[in-house]
Amino acid sequence: MHSVDYSFLQALWFILICILWIGYFVLEGFDFGVGMLLRHLGHNDADRRAIIHAIGPMWDGNEVWLLTAGGATFAAFPLWYASMFSGFYIALFLVLFALIIRGVAFEFWGKDDRPRWRATWEWAIVIGSFLASLLFGVAWANIVHGVPINAQQNFTGNLFTLLNPYALLGGVTLVLLFISHGAIYLNMKTGGDLPERARGVAKWASPAAAVVGIAFLVWTVIDMNDRTGASVAVAILGAIAAVLLATAAVSELGRRPGVAFGISTAAIAMLFVTLFVDLFPNVMPSTTSSLYNLTIANTSSSSKTLAIMAVVAVVMVPIVLAYTAWSYWVFRKRVSPEDFDRTTKNPLDLVGSGGKSAGTGAGPDPGSAPAG
């Protein structure tokens, strides 16, 4: 009975960690997309202020999901964490670098109104968002596909091992998905001329994401279903994800951004559900030998640790979900360039004004860099 309970806890924590990563990619996905589109859609300073403030109250809150996913992995599956972070050291360092320059850029952008200052930090947001999206896609494609691991559970490859065609396709898939997701979000969240421009991006980004994403899913099903007992489930889930990707592309032809955003969210979530179901019960397959696969059974913490963590999760997860939903509800209003034309604002100024200017004033944007 004890072994059954232990197996249940191991499976439970694998599922919870998957949920955390899916939540991260759905929520951080649209603000990565917004970041990549900042210079393309922002034709002037007021446009770019509106775009940044559209995600200002959310972006660093979204990153909490990443921290929680990493912490849960470390606590529940320490050997998985050790192998992944030691083997992917350079790749994860680059991800961390991209997230740091992106976060610093958000905070520093509004500290000075000189064009060169703002342009520098805007490009930092664009580049950081792009690199993070690309590298996360490459990393997770490698985790699901498998990497060289020896009998000591050590990664035996190098950085170039991770840059294989399948992983690069995963990276491109995530970049296009996030650009589409971000464009749809801006269509839903902004006012003035920005929604139409964002819709123009979504019209090409959504079909491109669908084509590349479906190709990635097909490759996933063909290449990996021979090492999982759930090959039929993976194929069905992959088909559902492909349909959602295609539907997201078609939905953007209409003028209901809320519906399009919901479908885009579901498509990203189902893509990762497919990958995680394919991965289970492994956490990092070995391309050296299946005997060396890292699984939930040989990488997990003790049953007592997992049980204590489960109790904490039952208490804390509803609280986290509640305040996340509340923050999105509070900042649900559209943000228009007109709100920032000749005004000094931060996101809180717009909460009670329904997205319209609540005051006047001139000058730079001191301290109004988007805070979570």
* DSSP string across 197-229: HHHHHHHHHHHHHHHHHHHHHHHHHHHHGGG-T
Residue 354 confidence (pLDDT)? 47
What CA–CA distance (Å, rounded) separates 246 from 66? 28
Average pLDDT along the chain: 84
- Assign 178 a pLDDT band (cuts: 50, 70, 90): very high
Q: What is the CA radius of gyration of the chain?
A: 21
Residue 187 CA, chain-centre distance (Å), reads 19
**Per-residue pLDDT averaged across 184-210, rounded?**
90
- Assign 17 a pLDDT band (cuts: 50, 70, 90): very high
pLDDT at 62 exceeding the cut of 80: yes
**Per-residue pLDDT averaged across 270-290, rounded?**
90
- Assign 154 a pLDDT band (cuts: 50, 70, 90): confident
- Is the pTM higher than 0.95? The answer reads no
Helix ranges restricted to H, the chain: 2-41, 45-55, 59-76, 78-87, 89-109, 115-145, 159-162, 165-189, 194-224, 231-251, 257-279, 296-299, 303-330, 347-351
All domains of the chain in start order, with CATH:
22-148+155-301 (1.20.1630)
Among 33-42, 136-145, 210-219, 319-328, where is mean pLDDT lowest? 319-328
**Per-residue pLDDT averaged across 20-34, rounded?**
92
**Per-residue pLDDT averaged across 137-141, rounded?**
93
In the three-class reduction of DSSP (H, G, I as helix; E, B as strand; rest coil), residue 284 is classed as strand
In terms of average pLDDT, the best of 11-20, 105-114, 233-242, 362-371 is 11-20
